[in-house]
Amino acid sequence: MKKERHLEEKPHGVPDFPIQFYHVDKDYPRYEMPLHWHGEFEVIRVLSGSLGLYLNNEKHTLRAGEIGFVGSGVLHRGEPCDAVYECIVFDLNMLCRHGSGRITGYVLPLFSGGAEVELVSTASGTLADTVNAFFDCLSEEGPYFELMAYAKAAEMVYLLYTENRIRIREKHVPAGNRRQMIAALVEWIEENYTERITLADLAQVAKTNEKYLCRFFKEYTGKSPIDYVNGLRVERACSKIAEENRTITEAAFDSGFNDMSYFCKIFKRYKGMTPRRYKKTLESHASLQRELSL
């Protein structure tokens, strides 16, 4: 599989500080984490509720106070259950000097497919303290927080090694056919969700029959292919509704829906409220934030 073909397109951070922090609650446009992967390393901590974290289709449940790691290139998704959770996505290259060296030797296996990182579920210990400090400095953005973030990222990698939570592979084994197939499908859907998509279209992309497609797609994503497409369209519509001067109708049509009654029905199924109610909720939240900042 050519990894660059399936890379998540959204940039994480900026070139000179490639770290992105996310605080996710029920008001977040993409509350349920869709299936995706990226070359960066990711750390997740759950503040309340629980998060079903699927790593290459293997489920791990993270509860309040617990921490999870997602290695480079790992297909992953998340199903929150009344959860508030946070994510840090960062480029491990930031820890390396240009060219080769000892530090590069430690970091390179983590994004070249040469190492596996053990999922950690812990609420105590030095590693957890370091990860929590990493999150706190990014969420608060105090003076010189960039230096603290860099230091905590390096310390976290050090502790992963010293606590034997990183396993170096003797030989990197290429991803299986099904993993390649699901990655290619997710990429194709991301590129074409605004167009009409049928089950036959997806089966053609996957070069398989519709029955097999539905079975393995649901195994990896927890949804049927069409449910996944509609869920993605709803999330994209939520992002567009949040934009100023964008009507609900514009958001619906720009996200691949061509019938407003169907859009409202699907939107309510996924979000538990109508698009109009969702827009009013966003406006009320924004107004409250402005008042608090005065």
What global pTM score does this model have? 0.69
Mean pLDDT of 81-100: 83
The CATH number that domain 177-285 falls under is 1.10.10.60
Question: Among all chains, which residue has been given the structure tokens 């390179």?
Answer: 108
For the chain, the domains span 3-168, 177-285
pLDDT value of residue 7: 40
DSSP secondary structure letter of residue 172: P
Q: How far apart are CA 221 and CA 136, in angstroms?
A: 31
pLDDT value of residue 24: 94
Phi and psi torsions of 24, nearest 5° = -120, 120
Task: Assess whether pLDDT exceeds 90 at residue 39.
Answer: no
**Tell me: the pLDDT tens digits for 50-62?**
999 998 888 999 9
**Per-residue confidence band for 291, with pLDDT thresholds at 50, 70 and 90:** low
Ramachandran assignment for 136, one of left (phi > 0), alpha (psi -120 to 50 degrees), beta (any other): alpha
Task: Assess whether pLDDT exceeds 80 at residue 44.
Answer: yes
**Per-residue confidence band for 103, with pLDDT thresholds at 50, 70 and 90:** confident
Q: How far is CA 184 from CA 30, 75, 255, in A?
A: 21, 12, 21
Mean pLDDT of the chain: 84
**Tell me: the pLDDT tens digits for 251-281?**
999 999 999 999 999 999 988 899 999 888 8
| Tokens of residue 108, six digits | 């390179």
Q: Which residues contact 52 (CB under 8 A, 6 or more apart)?
A: 59, 60, 61, 78, 79, 80, 81
- Strand partners of residue 80: 51
Pairing of strands 41-55, 67-70: antiparallel
pLDDT value of residue 181: 81
DSSP secondary structure letter of residue 118: -
Q: How far apart are CA 158 and CA 112, in angstroms?
A: 18
Q: How far apart are CA 96 and CA 262, in angstroms?
A: 50
168, burial (CB in 10 Å: exposed 0-12, middle 13-18, buried 19+): exposed
DSSP-assigned letters across all residues of 203-249: HHHHTS-HHHHHHHHHHHHSS-HHHHHHHHHHHHHHHHHTSTT--HH
pLDDT value of residue 5: 33
pLDDT value of residue 12: 53
**Tell me: the pLDDT tens digits for 165-221?**
888 765 444 445 677 788 788 889 989 999 999 999 999 998 889 988 898 888 888
| Tokens of residue 224, six digits | 């049927």
- Strand partners of residue 42: 70, 89
Q: Which helix (H) or strand (E) holds 32?
A: none
**Tell me: the pLDDT tens digits for 93-102?**
888 755 446 7
**Per-residue confidence band for 17, with pLDDT thresholds at 50, 70 and 90:** confident
**Per-residue confidence band for 30, with pLDDT thresholds at 50, 70 and 90:** confident
Q: Which amino acid is residue 144, in one-letter code? A: Y
The CATH number that domain 3-168 falls under is 2.60.120.10
Q: Tell me how crowded residue 249 is: count the other CB atoms within 10 A of its CB.
A: 12
Helix (H, G, I), strand (E, B) or coil at 115: strand
Residue 229 vs residue 5, higher pLDDT: 229
**Tell me: the pLDDT tens digits for 126-163?**
999 999 999 999 999 999 999 999 999 999 999 999 99
Q: How far apart are CA 289 and CA 294, in angstroms?
A: 9
**Tell me: the pLDDT tens digits for 220-236?**
888 899 998 998 899 89
Least confident of 111-120, 214-223, 236-245: 111-120
